[in-house]
Structure 1
Amino acid sequence: MSLTLDDFDYLLPPEQIAQAPLAERCASRLLVLAGGELADRGFCDLPSLVEPGDLLVFNDTRVIHARLYGTKETGGQVEVLIERAIGPHEALAQVRASKSPRAGARLRLADAFDVTVLGRAGEFFHLRFPEDEDLHALLERHGKLPLPPYIDRAADDHDESRYQTVYAREPGSVAAPTAGLHFDQQMLADLARQGVNGAWVTLHVGAGTFQPVRVNDLGEHHMHRERYVIPQETVDAIARTKAAGKRVIAVGTTSLRALEGAAQDGELGAGVGETELFILPGYRFRVADALITNFHLPKSTLLMLVSAFAGMEPIRRAYAHAVREGYRFFSYGDAMFITRRNDAI
């Protein structure tokens, strides 16, 4: 089957794009898609959907202050959005300016320090930061929290806590693993008491996650690279879960991409790696049995991923239902609980 971008389009009223989080993390709605059937629930109902011995795999990445404003040597305004660190003092970044800076140019950022443009790396700029301070420490002091482009406001103090998961600990992402935003400490404690296990991966989400797919023939699209870490403890926990006949449940597409990216040789292995895996309908999943995720943008690679996981037609019905029933979409929006279907595209 030849897939095109239009196969993953849908109409979304702008007012359903969530612009702020709800007062309570677990107060969001939860659309359950299991066995092709839909059910409207609340996220607080999650414990009733999982069983003792099931394993939730969380992404413990932490969003960094990746957005910086400044000026070029000519005085022109510039906006920098870090894609990812590639060393203690270097990073790849998106740079917005009236005229793109050339290699060797210096940018004054936050009216506090200079960075040097070393060159281009595809769509990103390779920047060198001052060597007298760690890059993440520098960003934490001078950068701004980068909210997604569909949130039509600047980040405020409330976002500093709410655009992070309660278990975030490894700095490196420029976007939150948003499925995890629905969990609070009480929910995690309740699940643990129920006998539901937890495990961790780290995948640092890059700015490329918001880049549109620019080709209609999806066979020509290339994913951006993202770095992941899979601990041996997580590999062992997944093996025990599978052996017991229980489910591995990925909390978010980032956890799912990390697990699937690390299992491309047929067996999940621990370690550090990078993935540019592009998951389309027809893909055979190796690790996850269920997925907790938010709703994704039209024509996005993440919508293609969930369509591969649950089936294209079930996802189309689920999204049409969510639009009709007034669900809140995207990062601060509502969630889905999806069971895997490998028998349908």
Structure 2
Amino acid sequence: MRPASGPSRDHGKLMTLDSSGNMDVRSRKDVGLLFEPGDVVVANTAATLPASLQGLHVQSGQDIEIRLAGWVEAYDVTRFKAVAFGAGDYRVPTEHRLSPPTMRPGDRLRLGPLRATVQAVLDHSRLLELRFQGDRKEILAGLARHGRPIQYAYVPKPLELWDVWTHLAAEPIAFESPSAGFALSWDTLSRWQKRGIAFATLSHAAGISSTGDPDLDQRLPLDEPYEIPPRTAAAINKARLQGNRVIAIGTTVVRALEAATCSGCVVRSGLGVARNLIGASTNLCTVDAIVTGVHEHGESHYELLRAFADTSVLESMNQRAAAEDFQAHEFGDSMLIERQARAKRSQAV
């Protein structure tokens, strides 16, 4: 399936899969017409940080790229988890990138105006914990001046920061865009309001989606902090109590809501950290349907979708999507997948 080569929010296709397994293809604009009064739609308002930093590994004198990938402590900008790459940039596919120099605790990095120290090498030689010098204001200013959005080789033109912000972007806490939100427009939100469909938000620090290293990719997604406002939790719990559906806009929303669900399938408000890995064996408690991009087998996003539908069904959707010339990845077309009845699922790998 061909990847979308850049931002395009005016048009798009939508493939739908209902709870009985019926597929359809429509315009993405129709997402405003598909839900029922009393349903609640939940989206992620996280804005994306300029998390790609070119620089120098001082000890070896070699050029590197650092991609910030996670928070060590929620929203403490002095400390990040990061993935190291060798010299080069997004124009080279991640799986073909040069390896970075060997890094050890105490090594120093010069990243434009920013200075960082390797605090620890985590459970992979390219996965690091970094500490940045300076206060919050200085570090954020350095990121704004020197950082670029993380992007991949299938997008040929350099991205600007506004390219990876959805219409709902607020606090810059994500490392890649919660891109399912590109399916939403103000017209869609207005249609939902007129039809009695509730709309609620949360913030979730979406992490990186790929490193190019299969072993490191197996560790994704990393732990990701989130915050669920009281009114969002109340809207969800009310919908569940009344037998209405909860629809997540994107995998990050699914992960946050399921992490925040306690006994009795009640969603708790407040701050939390999503450490849960969702896949075929997961019994979803809160989310009934997901609006997502087009994902392929082997991606961490695809693994999460297996909690909604059997692998054979997802593969049938992708075959149909390819036949209908759907575009994949963050700027591509969309899918709406309703959770399939557990009794009908074979849990095929």
For normalisation by structure 2, the TM-score amounts to 0.85
Counterpart check, 1:21 vs 2:7: yes
Structure 2, unmatched stretches of 5+, are 87-99
The equivalent residue for 1:263 is 261
CA change 1:252–1:26 in 2 (3 A) is farther
Aligned pairs for 1:1-345 within 5 A? 12=1, 16-22=2-8, 25-34=9-18, 35-73=20-58, 74-86=60-72, 87-97=76-86, 98-110=100-112, 112-123=113-124, 124-134=127-137, 135-147=139-151, 149-157=152-160, 160-207=161-208, 209-211=209-211, 214=214, 223-263=221-261, 265=263, 266-343=265-342, 344=345, 345=347
Contact 1:203 1:227 in 2 (8 A): yes
Cα deviations by residue, 1:22-63 (Å, 9 ceiling, x for unpaired): 2xx251000011120111101111122112221110011111
Contact 2:220 2:300 in 1 (8 A): no
Contact 1:66 1:82 in 2 (8 A): yes
Within 2, Cα distance between the matches of 1:211 and 1:307?
A: 22
CA change 1:276–1:326 in 2 (3 A) is same
Contact 1:58 1:201 in 2 (8 A): yes
The equivalent residue for 1:6 is none
- Matched residue type, 2:241: A
CA change 1:27–1:105 in 2 (3 A) is same
Contact 2:297 2:303 in 1 (8 A): no
Within 2, Cα distance between the matches of 1:165 and 1:62?
A: 7
Q: Name the SS for the 2:6 alignment partner.
A: coil
Offset at 1:309? 0.4
Contact 2:149 2:176 in 1 (8 A): no
Q: Name the SS for the 1:107 alignment partner.
A: strand
CA change 1:212–1:249 in 2 (3 A) is farther
Contact 1:55 1:247 in 2 (8 A): yes
Within 2, Cα distance between the matches of 1:233 and 1:29?
A: 32
CA change 1:285–1:255 in 2 (3 A) is same
- Matched residue type, 2:325: G
Offset at 1:314? 1.8
CA change 1:96–1:130 in 2 (3 A) is same
Q: Name the SS for the 2:266 alignment partner.
A: coil
Offset at 1:295? 0.9
- Matched residue type, 2:336: F
Within 2, Cα distance between the matches of 1:263 and 1:284?
A: 12
The equivalent residue for 2:92 is none
Q: State the identity %.
A: 27
Within 2, Cα distance between the matches of 1:258 and 1:308?
A: 15
CA change 1:223–1:66 in 2 (3 A) is closer
Contact 1:26 1:183 in 2 (8 A): no
Contact 2:295 2:302 in 1 (8 A): yes
Within 1, Cα distance between the matches of 2:33 and 2:17?
A: 14
Offset at 1:335? 0.3
CA change 1:304–1:119 in 2 (3 A) is closer
Within 1, Cα distance between the matches of 2:276 and 2:212?
A: 16
CA RMSD of aligned residues (A): 2.1
CA change 1:284–1:85 in 2 (3 A) is closer
Within 2, Cα distance between the matches of 1:116 and 1:52?
A: 52
Within 2, Cα distance between the matches of 1:257 and 1:78?
A: 32
- Matched residue type, 1:284: N
Offset at 1:221? 6.7
Within 1, Cα distance between the matches of 2:103 and 2:180?
A: 36
Contact 2:261 2:267 in 1 (8 A): yes
Structure 1, unmatched stretches of 5+, are 1-11
